[in-house]
Structure 1
């Protein structure tokens, strides 16, 4: 049986312009919740920024992808060393669900469920209408979740940008085929 939440598992388009990607991570669920909501832990795999976990709370996420792995790999043309995004929490049910706004898309939902000694994390990025952006988002979530899986397992992540570039090619083939 193919484990859709195994390390390296690809995301799938689950409805028009919506990406769903899953990972099984070492528990407990509160630990993974902290990696999503605590700015210091989140910066180790995604983006920095304080977040008050209540509906309506604003936040700013700041990406510094060059800091996610050592070495970081070669940053692709068109990406800055730092990028920020403002958002708002739209749903919060600790430690099971967090939904946030995300730029011009329909937002992102993080669902966590106990799975034995592990946690099933499901990330759903809703309504990414621009196909080029959906491609970047798909490779981005996959690469970031690979970093999260490595960090929570006590391992060093692969060079982030090299992974992202490879994944962008993989997702291009998958979405066209």
Structure 2
């Protein structure tokens, strides 16, 4: 069944990482590590905390919606007329962690944002994997 054009769309990226959830969680929630694979930020894994991701092209305003240490994290991801939510789910699996990232809320007429997220998130997760492989946290 196809989604109607008006239904918000999502970008989902999943990875199996050969690292324990504790190490993956640290990389998702520690500012100097986030800066290595995503962007500069003043993030804290506390619901209600407002923070910004900053890049040379601009910034993204965010707010932590939920944080379950080692299991799940969600925050708003807003820029100009874009209002989305990024959710991370960590599932322990033999030999590591299954990581699922979903960015939801892309509306009709936001093809540029949607395309950017489709191209960007796999690259961000590649960088996250490289960081996890290089660090002995």
Aligned partner of 1:95 in structure 2 is: 70
State the SS of the aligned residue for 1:55.
coil
Cα distance in 1, alignment partners of residues 53 and 33 from structure 2: 13
User: Where in structure 1 do 4 or more consecutive aligned residues deviate above 3 Å?
Assistant: none
Aligned partner of 1:28 in structure 2 is: 20
- Over aligned residue pairs, what C-alpha RMSD do you find? 1.7
In the TM superposition, residue 120 of structure 1 has moved relative to its aligned partner by: 0.9
Cα distance in 1, alignment partners of residues 9 and 111 from structure 2: 8
**1:152 equivalenced with 2:136 (yes/no):** no
Aligned partner of 2:9 in structure 1 is: 17
Greater relative CO (CA pairs within 8 A, separation 6+): 2
Aligned partner of 1:83 among 50, 58, 63 = 58
Aligned partner of 1:125 in structure 2 is: 103
Whether contact under 8 Å (1:38, 1:50) holds in the other structure is: no
Point out where structure 2 has 5 or more consecutive residues left out of the alignment: 1-6
TM score, norm. by length of structure 2: 0.83
Cα distance in 1, alignment partners of residues 116 and 35 from structure 2: 19
TM score, norm. by length of structure 1: 0.65
More strand by share: 2
Point out where structure 1 has 5 or more consecutive residues left out of the alignment: 1-14, 64-80, 156-177
